[in-house]
Amino acid sequence: MRRVYLYLAMVLSTFTFVSCVIDDAESRDPERVAQTIWSEAHADLRYINKMLTDVVHFDHMLQIEDDSQRDKYFDIYFGQRTELEERGNGYVVKRMSNYDMPIYTYYITNRCALGEGEWTVRYEGGNDYTMTLTPQEDGSIEADISSLYVAESEGSAILTFGYLLHDLDQVTCNAEVELCYEGSIELVDRSMGESKPLTISTRTLEPVLFSDQWGFKGGKLRIECRDEFYGSRDEVDAEFFFDPQRVDLTYLGVVYTKHAQYGI
């Protein structure tokens, strides 16, 4: 009987040799997770940055007394196929899309400058949003974005921001808006099913400095991604630097640096 066991042991040990790897394992690359989450959050942030800088440019345009200069500024920042119309307590910007569909942005300014009274901005062009801008006692402005749609996600954001506007060129009306903001953004993607949403929550750990000329110049964000479909939860910190311009992504304690060639 002992011989049987010995023979069996020999045969069983040969199974290890007979088994073979016919396809190598893929590389384990946690950086891809950080990059994927960052690229999604970055797209959301870019959209929100544009919303805020548009408001600042719009306010600045309204301050220009010279009609021709104002029209020029409007054309530069809001496009050639755009019309401005004064209506009620504010303005309507009508822009024609590439498919000749009108896209409306309503600026309800209550006849006061940004930072001096409450503004409401409503965008109706597919990815609709409504943003209420309320001046704060410390001079900053609170942007409460109650209905926000970005690509396949919907959610809300509350951001408190201050801004600087640098006139770069009086002839061409080029200007740079520099924002400094903090707060949180929460966007829910339900494309995997109503009951299995994917939520991306972004909150500022250090106030974010953003320039519409240079992109992100400083600050730190924490991006949390919760996927109910796959039952996963990932957290990525993004810290911005300006010289040289880069973003450091921290995922599970490991830092991955992403240099920006043309701004972040």
Dihedral of CA atoms 257, 159, 231, 127 in degrees, nearest 10, equals -100
Dihedral of CA atoms 39, 217, 204, 184 in degrees, nearest 10, equals -60
Question: Cβ 90 to other proteins, closest distance in Å?
Answer: 35
Closest to other proteins by CB, 4 or 171: 4
Question: Cβ 9 to other proteins, closest distance in Å?
Answer: 10
Question: Cβ 26 to other proteins, closest distance in Å?
Answer: 4
Question: Cβ 215 to other proteins, closest distance in Å?
Answer: 22
Rounded to whole angstroms, the Cα distance separating 231 from 218 reads 32
Closest to other proteins by CB, 118 or 237: 237
Residue ranges that bind other proteins, judged by CB under 8 A: 3-4, 7-8, 10-11, 14-15, 18-30, 32-33, 35-37, 40, 152, 189, 191-192, 198, 225, 227, 229-230, 232, 234, 252
Closest to other proteins by CB, 30 or 102: 30
Contact 249, 255 (CB under 8 A): yes
Closest to other proteins by CB, 177 or 225: 225
Residue reference for tokens 């972040």? 264
DSSP for 142-204 reads EEEEEEEEETTEEEEEEEEEEEEEEEEETTTTEEEEEEEEEEEEEEEE-TT-TTS-EEEEEEE
Question: Cβ 191 to other proteins, closest distance in Å?
Answer: 4
Closest to other proteins by CB, 22 or 171: 22
At 248 the three-state DSSP class reads strand
